[in-house]
């Protein structure tokens, strides 16, 4: 379906054409008509499907159709990077309209606070905000959201993971009862459905199947001890000096610094990005990575969904993602536009069960990487058991049969390229 068939405002169609788009993505084709009909919506769609445009375009269409007074739309995002990314898309699509927008997030100076306050009190059409910073403004008593017609939660699952559920409820209390509510989430656990029941009214529900990793991504997993992780990525990255863009994800801010130091120690150009940096520093690092001025970017999990950079040669999961779906999101940043890409995931024995969940999700076993001899042998992966009638039996859903031997079942060994048996 073309965007013209969706009957959007001509000024939006001009902007869409100028940006080089013609056909709507599946999520846009399903979501835009529902929003235009003013129905509440809960949509499960992964990053990279075009969901931002799916909710931005119909909102801008409504704003363009009539004069507005006060704030029309409030969008809540979990991270400042995602808030800025959404605002950037709004500015592009709204170029030929009079719609105004601003991203409100923490980490700025006093001038930034005053600019945010002015936008909140002067009736900016679209506010994109992180929960914590918006709560700070609401607590000051000068924010008037009585004119809000659209309340949008983007990456709702990530906000719940980050502990923002009470902030979301508090923000909703400041909004008119009569409004359109839209919730977007990459996953749909029961906690999301519970929040949806509190905020949404008879919502339409859309579930787009999670895309499997592209066939042109060369996926590998390395079973390692924790102290083998840094030597392994040093070894692997030294073999790929021709790669221009490499993205490394880890779980904590302290690990970001440790990894960056270790890569620089062997002469590799690497920069880290986490909430430890001031906002202007983070934007500078991201811009340098986009412009290929920074070759290796190391980022925390919290930053993972806020980084929208194409043409990445390799993605390394230094730690297993918390959610299996995040694995697909992360490695999907490589191998774009029919190019080839690599994805390497480092798996410790304690996290092996999480990696099994990933393999079940993508419906394939990821080939195992043989460790360099100088790193020593990998850990042994012991089978997991559950009790049943007093007898210990292995979970039946594991891939392949465990090898038999004297004294019972033997653990998996992971020092082979053979993907069977872990």
- For residues 282 and 361, membership in a common domain is answered with yes
- For residues 202 and 221, membership in a common domain is answered with no
Last residue of a domain, one of 189, 207, 225: 207
The pLDDT value recorded for residue 409 is: 41
Distance CA 16, CA 82 (A): 21
Half-sphere exposure of 236 (CA within 13 A, CB side): 25
As a whole-number percent, the residues of the chain with pLDDT over 70 amount to 85
Please classify residue 219 by burial: count the beta carbons closer than 10 Å to its beta carbon, then call 0-12 exposed, 13-18 middle and 19+ buried: buried
- For residues 134 and 237, membership in a common domain is answered with no
- For residues 192 and 234, membership in a common domain is answered with no
Instruction: With 0.75 as the threshold, say if the pTM is over it.
Output: no
The pLDDT value recorded for residue 384 is: 54
Q: How many structural domains are present in the chain?
A: 2
Tell whether the model's pLDDT for residue 201 goes beyond 60. Answer: yes
The pLDDT value recorded for residue 403 is: 40
- Higher-confidence residue of 361 and 296: namely 296
- For residues 18 and 125, membership in a common domain is answered with yes
The pLDDT value recorded for residue 335 is: 62
Tell whether the model's pLDDT for residue 402 goes beyond 80. Answer: no
Q: What is the DSSP string of 241-295?
A: TT-S-EEEEES-HHHHHHHHHHHHHTT--EEEESTTS-HHHHHHHHHHHHTTSSS
Question: What backbone torsions phi and psi does residue 164 show, to the nearest 5 degrees?
Answer: -95, 10
Average pLDDT of the segment spanning 89-101:
93
- For residues 314 and 187, membership in a common domain is answered with no
- For residues 28 and 87, membership in a common domain is answered with yes
The pLDDT value recorded for residue 363 is: 86
- For residues 297 and 202, membership in a common domain is answered with no
Last residue of a domain, one of 143, 178, 207: 207
- Higher-confidence residue of 89 and 19: namely 89
The pLDDT value recorded for residue 12 is: 95
pLDDT tens-digit map of 215-237: 788 999 999 999 999 999 999 99
Residue 108 placed within a domain: yes
- For residues 197 and 100, membership in a common domain is answered with yes
CB 15 within 8 A of CB 92: yes
Last residue of a domain, one of 174, 207, 240: 207
Residue 351 placed within a domain: yes
- For residues 250 and 371, membership in a common domain is answered with yes
Residue 416 placed within a domain: no
* Domain span at 364: 217-409
Q: What is the CATH number of the domain that holds 41?
A: 3.40.50.300
Distance CA 95, CA 101 (A): 11
pLDDT tens-digit map of 360-400: 888 889 999 999 999 999 998 876 544 444 444 443 444 33
Average of per-residue pLDDT values in the chain: 84
Alpha carbon 271 to its chain's center = 20
- Higher-confidence residue of 339 and 95: namely 95
- For residues 194 and 221, membership in a common domain is answered with no
- For residues 34 and 71, membership in a common domain is answered with yes
Q: What is the DSSP string of 116-170?
A: HHHHHHTT-SEEEE-HHHHHHHHHHT----TT--EEEESSHHHHHHTT-HHHHHH
pLDDT tens-digit map of 241-250: 899 999 999 9
Residue 422 placed within a domain: no
Tell whether the model's pLDDT for residue 181 goes beyond 90. Answer: yes
Nearest to 154 by CA among 248, 245, 59: 59
Average pLDDT of the segment spanning 343-357:
93
């Amino acid at each position: 379906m073309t965007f013209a068939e969706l009957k959007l405002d001509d000024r939006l169609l001009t902007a869409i054409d100028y940006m080089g788009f013609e056909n709507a993505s599946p999520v846009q084709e399903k979501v835009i008509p529902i929003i235009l009909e003013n129905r509440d919506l809960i949509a499960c769609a992964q990053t990279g499907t075009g969901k931002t445009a799916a909710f931005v375009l119909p909102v801008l269409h409504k704003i363009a159709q009539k004069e507005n007074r006060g704030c029309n739309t409030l969008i809540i995002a979990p991270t400042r990077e995602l808030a800025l990314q959404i605002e950037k898309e709004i500015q592009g699509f709204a170029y030929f309209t009079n719609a105004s927008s601003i991203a409100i997030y923490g980490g700025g100076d006093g001038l930034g606070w005053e600019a945010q306050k002015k936008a909140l009190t002067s009736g900016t059409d679209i506010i994109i905000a992180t929960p914590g910073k918006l709560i700070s403004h609401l607590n000051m008593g000068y924010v008037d959201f009585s004119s809000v017609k659209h309340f949008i939660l983007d990456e709702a699952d990530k906000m719940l993971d980050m502990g923002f559920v009470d902030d979301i409820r508090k923000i909703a209390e400041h909004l008119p009862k009569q409004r359109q509510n839209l919730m977007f989430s990459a996953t749909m656990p029961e906690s999301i459905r519970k929040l949806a029941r509190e905020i949404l009214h008879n919502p339409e529900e859309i579930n787009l199947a999670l895309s499997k990793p592209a066939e042109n991504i060369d996926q590998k997993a390395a079973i390692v001890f924790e102290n083998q992780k840094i030597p392994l990525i040093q070894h692997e990255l030294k073999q790929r000096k021709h790669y221009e863009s490499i993205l490394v994800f880890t779980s904590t801010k302290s690990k970001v610094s440790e990894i960056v130091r270790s890569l620089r120690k062997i002469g590799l150009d690497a920069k880290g990005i986490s909430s430890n940096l001031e906002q202007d520093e983070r934007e500078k690092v991201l811009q340098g990575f986009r412009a290929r001025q920074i070759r290796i970017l190391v980022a925390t999990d919290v930053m993972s969904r806020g980084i929208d950079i194409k043409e990445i040669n390799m993605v390394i999961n230094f730690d297993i993602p918390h959610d299996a779906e995040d694995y697909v999101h992360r490695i999907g940043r490589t191998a774009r536009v029919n190019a080839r890409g690599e994805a390497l995931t480092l798996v410790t024995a304690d996290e092996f069960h999480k990696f099994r969940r990933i393999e079940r999700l993508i419906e394939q076993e990821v080939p195992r990487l043989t460790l360099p001899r100088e790193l020593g042998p990998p850990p042994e992966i012991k089978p997991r058991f559950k009790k049943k009638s007093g007898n210990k039996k292995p979970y039946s859903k594991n891939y392949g049969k465990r090898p038999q031997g004297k004294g019972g079942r033997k653990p998996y060994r992971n020092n082979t390229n053979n993907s069977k048996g872990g």
